Amino acid sequence: MDLQKTIKRESTYSGIGLHTGNITSVTFKPAPPNSGIKFVRSDLPGKPEVEANIKNVISVARGTTLGNGSFQIQTVEHIMATLCGLGIDNLIVEVNAGEPPVADGSGMPFVETLEKAGFQEQNVEKNYFTIAEPVKFSNGDVHLVVLPSDEFKVSATIDYKHKILKSQYGTFTITKEIFEKEIAPARTYCFEHEIESLKRRGLARGGNLDNAVVIGQDGIHNKELRFPDEFVRHKILDLIGDIYLIGKPLKAHIIAIRCGHAANIALTKKLGELIKRSAARRTTKTFKQEGFEGKVLSLEEIQNIIPHRPPFLFVDKIIMAENMVKAVGFKNITINEEYFKGHFPNYPILPGVLIIESMAQTSCVLFLARSDLRKKLPYFMAIKEVKFRKPVFPGDQLQLEVEVTRARVRGGKIQGRAYVRNELVAEAEFMFSLVDR
């Protein structure tokens, strides 16, 4: 099981902004679990912040710009790629100008700055986004496709009608080690004939041979390249940064042909819409009874109530009814669960006993959420009327409905039912005893 990650302490990097030409600093700060990545403008009154999310992208002119109301932050893609490559889920990125430093045009200075800060695992499971079917975007000769995969992999091709730079291809499985060694050092680049046009548009004011590779008509102006295929590697760096704006780590294989920020963001928007639809399905009606409303408990709040911990925590979110006699738990079943390695590995199916355990843990939260029972532990004395109706597979989401049918000072009885897409897959009756911790 992979845990969410932040950094141990603050760390700062300073330098020139690529497009603004301003001297600027970026300070990375730890953030709590499930808070995601947030950019903060420390130079503005009230230090306004913007979530690093596709919904906040306002421009893709030679870089990706985030905005929120009256302020913006340009060129966030190298930082976002670095956070994705290092596996950082939660972070505050504080910038004292409208653009972070370009550094040397790569992600490597940010890697080094964050490694100095140290990494801190958090006791909450990573929330990977996976897809069941291909997602595509095309515009002219630009094509991107996202394919289902149990790892994060990027394959990219660039193709220019230029005698110095023509076609390059690269494919990498993105792990922390591979990102640091093969992707992070790749620098941004431009063609010499673009420079005047960029500057007329107010861009590339801070660009020079120390932070960009410049391709001339007859040769490359920089002394040497870091990789023979540095250009396609940098395209992969940009793509990783733009895709991470879905707001969570991705497990999929991205294939890109002639991609750039506009196409990357268009694809990311498609993935973002899938995430929104998935969330809407998970938060639709939780009980068959009309009028059910309740408080949503996050994974972190669940762990504050019951003693279960990963990898033996089988519920991701719980909605509690106000009367505290009903609750609905949710568990997303992914192929990455440890038990699939040994339980029918050639035909992965969720063990029935784990459906029962998921209902039992939801029942525990239902009882222990009461303030007068927080110092108790429920021990199950009997499980009756167990019935398995339908199999549950990776990609399914369990909806675990539990209801107290008898409550006493020292114990009680709960009826539990598990659904997938509103179809009953299992049910059981639990009897338990409450004891002091």
Active-site amino acid positions? 261, 343
User: Number of H helices and number of E strands within the chain?
Assistant: 8, 25
Among 238, 236, 252, 246, smallest CA distance to 267 is for: 246
Kindly report the CA angle at 256 between 217 and 149, in degrees rounded to 5?
150
User: CA–CA separation, 297 vs 321, rounded Å?
Assistant: 11
39's CB contacts (< 8 A; 6+ apart) are 49, 50, 52, 66, 73, 76, 93, 94, 95
Tokens of 368: 């222990």
DSSP secondary structure letters along 265-291: HHHHHHHHHHHHHHHHHHTS--SSSTT
Largest CA distance in the chain: 85
Torsion over CA: 91, 94, 95, 98 (sign): positive
Residue with tokens 């005893």: 433
The single-letter code of the amino acid at 341 is K
Q: Are 302 and 330 in contact (CB under 8 A)?
A: no
CA dist 211 and 284 (Å) reads: 49
Say how far apart CA 64 and CA 42 lie, in whole Å.
20
